[in-house]
A and B are shown apart, each in its own frame.
Chain A
Amino acid sequence: MSYIPHTEAERQQMLAAIGVTTIEDLFEAVPASHRFPKLNMPAPMSEMEVTAEMQALAESNEHAGDFAIFRGAGAYHHFVPSVVNHILLRGEFYTAYTPYQPEMSQGTLQSIFEYQSMMCALTGMDAANASHYDGATSLAEAVTMSMDVTRHKRKKVILSHAINPQYRAVVRTYNQGRDIKFVGDKGQADIEDLADMLDDNTAMLAISYPNFFGQIDDLKTLAERVHQAGALLVMVVNPMALAMFKSPGELGADIVVGEGQSLGVPLSYGGPYLGFFATREEYVRKIAGRIVGESVDQDARRAYVMTLRPREQDIRREKASSNICTNQGLMALAACVYLSLMGKTGLRRVAELNYHKAHYAADQINQLPGYTVNRDKPFFNEFVVKCPTSVKTINQRLIDAGMIGGYDLGKDYAHLKNHALLCVTEMNTKDEIDGLVEELGKVK
């Protein structure tokens, strides 16, 4: 049977050694009334048949392999060098588990340590953990940590409406059993308005950089105001943008979280992705999740090990601040390999390609009658376009022309009906962009 190696002779020898006659005898403790139910499921299939079936399912999807894609909104189509996938397919990496035994896991441990280092470099923070599930849950963990840092005496969290709506929804899901008040994201409060909400009951203020609309806000004085109020500044960032824009560390952030999918992880219909989490040195002992540290072995050789373990659920149990155990290890490895390949100059280059192409597209679209691009603030690789008709209508037309259009902002923001969030990355050629502009121009 498929992946089970036993022969009938071996089964009999093993049963004899145990002292039973059938495998069923081993289940005597299961209530007889409920034992051995029928499974109403499909019959087994050969690898050939399974492959054919799944290929057909896959091909029926409208995916970025077949369509030019101009959609981001939290998940991005970027170039992934071949090396990344080849490393991820090393069985030594992907069929290992959490490195509980450091002597047999130095490969995983060192690569996490290198990943942590790269995330520190990108964010300008002092320490990063080994990952959370995604950008949204990283933000939820930041809420938990800010409560912990402010000793559970502060109960208010200020969220910008320009943080990804899904992230804000997740933060609320996580905290429905806790006494925390979320404010700031119901209307259209800007950075100044958010800062005005700070008081001595505020644990943290979170903004997005770039924000959900692709824009870079002026953050020069925000950190000071947040810190004056005794709260933490949390920044939700796009790591690709950090290759060119000032680091959150420079801007005074205390916790930096975000979605690392842009760093070598495919779209994959929403997961598995990579939640990263970084903070300042003084808060290191409050981080949830795995952290790898450097040490030495008994022979004084440098080696790596999971550290600050007493924070975690398997030791602290109900007193742990988070229940996180399994995280997104392999995706952190993908980011580590990706960032190694891109390196100091390559990542900047990719980021600038994104910037230039997005701006070229925005300029062209802005000239079309009926379309207006929001250019109030600098932007990175996404921008908001006011359209002459519904985004749904436009996107249907684009699909027919082989393109996946922008995200319909009206789904999340009542005041942005007929507004699309368009994304342009290094994957979009000039021809594709020109094709998009041409097609949009046909809609009046």
Chain B
Amino acid sequence: MEPLIYEISVPGRVGVNLPACDVPQSELPTELLRESVELPEVSELQVVRHFVNLSQLNHAIDKGFYPLGSCTMKYNPKINEDMARLPGFAQLHPLTDDEGAQGALALMFDLQEWLGEVSGFAGVSLVPAAGAQGELAGILMIRKYHLDRGDTGRTKILVPNSAHGTNPATVTMAGMDVIELPSDDEGNVDLDALRAACAGEQGKHVAGMMITVPSTLGLFDRGILKIVELVHECGGLMYMDGANMNALMGMVKPGELGFDVMHYNLHKTFSTPHGGGGPGCGAVGVAERLLPFLPGPIVDIVDDGVEDEAPLYGLVMPEKSIGQLKAFAGNFGMHVRAYAYIRVYGGEGLKEVSRHAVLNANYIRAMLHDTYKVPYDRYCGHEFVLEGHFEDAPDIHALDISKRLMDYGIHPPTNYFPLIVPEALLIEPTETEDKATLDHFIDVMKKIAKEAKEDPELLKSAPHITPVSRLDEVRAAKQLVLCCAPVMKGE
């Protein structure tokens, strides 16, 4: 194993070359100072080797197939990284006067427009830093919309039981209550339950509904128009979790289906990298009636300019904005990457993205549905769920199949989500994988199914070729060790 950086530290070693002080030195306020900070003392080469060695312990898109459902692990084009590092973007201070940031603002303005066009919304704010923050923005907008109309009794948000955990957690954060809705046996929202929730007195407390399209099962809900209609009829607004937008570009516009607000995940659909857990961007798009409530600042044209002059862009706070969600105007570096991505594809290209994402998912589904149980075996969107267990191999669970996949150099699908499918394996190949990669995955999955029955221990003891074997997670939680020994208290 790679040692900890603290373990290769040697007192007195310095890893950086800094300039001499070229101004007269001032007196330091000694009574306010600390002795030192326990940081490692290592050379530049040691740092490089340490982190290169660590990097090689990871699986990543650049290394191999990563069909992690609901995460859209598509190829992250290299040009995006170069563009985000252009000095004019990377070294631009966020409090630059608008006049001095016209290039950045123009880029953000175009991105807002394009995202709005892709999903049929009247306006977009790029501020939210991740999907979950986009959700919070959306629910706070819905809340404020009702309050602004003097409709104070709407405190409940409907959430299907197939939803991502961020949905109900968001509702609580916004100070509202969740009403969970069951799914029917086709994986759609149970319309009878929805009707009941929206009926009569109860319906007057419904602020809105959050729903993922296609659902977390990867399915287009056949009742989507009816769902929107029912919620709107009782006075609620519709929130779409756009995590699965990779299935929809040029296929259908959520705004045209009647959704009032949606978040995009630029780090999923629009190829900005996942970074080992962020940064992301959870931009939100809204229908006309929610425009005044968008989180700010957003970019608008503040002066059209005369004739051929370029317009003057500025950062503005929408009139009844829910407020600022983070300092400054969003994860701009992610806006740059998404802009580059959309520019390369254009509208026609984005359509091809979604077509091929859906083609790839359906291909794997069709090739595996005789080997694994596919609980909702119909045409899927960009992902689908299968059950990771076999009647004739009772000890084998989705987790074992996941771990065994690692031995073949493949990252496991999302497992145990959505919660409504037992032993769920949620598979999302994305459009950037070629047929050979998919065929290899299909072969491996079939092989593992065979192994499960013939040699289950091979799965139970997997993975065998990764840098470490299965972790003792109970110990990690019980004997908490959250930082290196040298910086622990009392040592």
Contact = CB atoms under 8 A, between A and B. Distances in A.
Contacts of A100: 68, 414
A345 B347 CA distance: 52
B22 A103 contact: no
Contacts of B77: 3
A117 B473 contact: no
A356 B117 CA distance: 52
Interface stretch (B274-282, B300-308, B447-455): B274-282
A293 B481 contact: yes
9 contacts: A4-B352, A31-B224, A45-B346, A91-B61, A327-B278, A331-B278, A333-B275, A345-B14, A353-B19
A80 B383 CA distance: 40
B331 A271 contact: yes
Interface string A61-88: 1111110010101110101010101110
A35 B224 CA distance: 13
Given A61-B96, A133-B130, A302-B1, A244 B34 contact: yes
Q: Kindly list the 6 A-B residue pairs having the minimum CB-CB distance in the complex, ordered from nearest.
A: A177-B175, A270-B328, A58-B88, A91-B62, A41-B347, A270-B94
A28 B428 CA distance: 20
B240 interface: no
Nearest to B161: A317
A301 B1 CA distance: 8
B48 A44 contact: no
Contacts of B431: 3-4
Interface residues of A, number: 204
Given A61-B100, A117-B484, A343 B275 contact: no
Given A15-B359, A61-B100, A110-B4, A284 B333 contact: no
Interface residues of B, number: 204
Given A57-B107, A63-B92, A105-B59, 17 more contacts: A3-B344, A36-B251, A43-B348, A64-B91, A92-B60, A100-B414, A104-B406, A106-B468, A133-B278, A268-B333, A271-B331, A284-B480, A295-B475, A298-B472, A328-B129, A340-B50, A341-B47
A325 B131 contact: yes
B29 A177 contact: no
Interface in B190-208: none
A378 B33 CA distance: 11
Nearest to A292: B482
Contacts of A347: 37, 39
Interface stretch (B79-87, B231-239, B390-398): B79-87
- Tell me which of A96, A174, A336, A346 has the highest count of chain B C-beta atoms within 10 A of its own C-beta: A96
Given A26-B379, A75-B94, A94 B76 contact: yes
Given A104-B406, A314-B164, A246 B33 contact: yes
A104 B59 contact: yes
Contacts of B347: 39-43
A202 interface: no
A433 B471 CA distance: 54
A331 B84 CA distance: 14
B346 A102 contact: no
A272 B334 contact: yes
B82 to A, nearest CB: 8
A30 B273 CA distance: 29
Contact of A26 (B276, B359, B482): B359
Contact of B58 (A14, A93, A305): A93
Interface in A244-258: 244-247, 250
Contacts of A183: none
A2 interface: yes
Interface string A287-325: 000111111111101110101110011111111101111
Interface string B22-40: 1111101100111011111
B275 A41 contact: no
A207 B36 CA distance: 23
B252 A30 contact: yes
B140 interface: yes
B173 interface: yes
A178 interface: yes
B195 to A, nearest CB: 19
Contacts of A116: 482-483
A268 B108 CA distance: 13
B374 interface: no
B434 A10 contact: yes
B114 A41 contact: yes
A27 B251 contact: yes
A96 B60 contact: yes
B432 A270 contact: no
B166 A313 contact: yes
A211 interface: no
A393 interface: no
A90 B51 contact: yes
Best-buried of B21, B91, B273, B330 by chain A (most CB within 10 Å) = B91
Interface centre among B15, B24, B172, B402 (most CB of A within 10 A): B172
A121 B38 contact: yes
B277 A269 contact: no
A341 B353 contact: no
Contacts of A299: 468-469
B212 to A, nearest CB: 14
A67 B339 CA distance: 26
Given A126-B489, A290-B277, A345 B41 contact: yes
B9 to A, nearest CB: 8
Interface stretch (A16-24, A152-160, A186-194, A222-230): A16-24
Contacts of B83: 50-51, 54, 58
Contacts of B171: 318
B95 to A, nearest CB: 6
Contacts of B32: 216, 245-246, 378
Contacts of A122: 37, 39
A59 interface: yes
Interface in B345-394: 345-353, 355-356, 358-360, 362-363, 365-367, 378-379
B470 A103 contact: yes
A349 B16 CA distance: 10
A137 B1 CA distance: 35
A1 interface: yes
Given A44-B345, A326-B131, A378-B32, A102 B22 contact: no
A433 B23 CA distance: 10
A259 interface: yes
A355 B26 contact: yes
B169 A322 contact: yes
Most buried by A among B2, B331, B411: B331
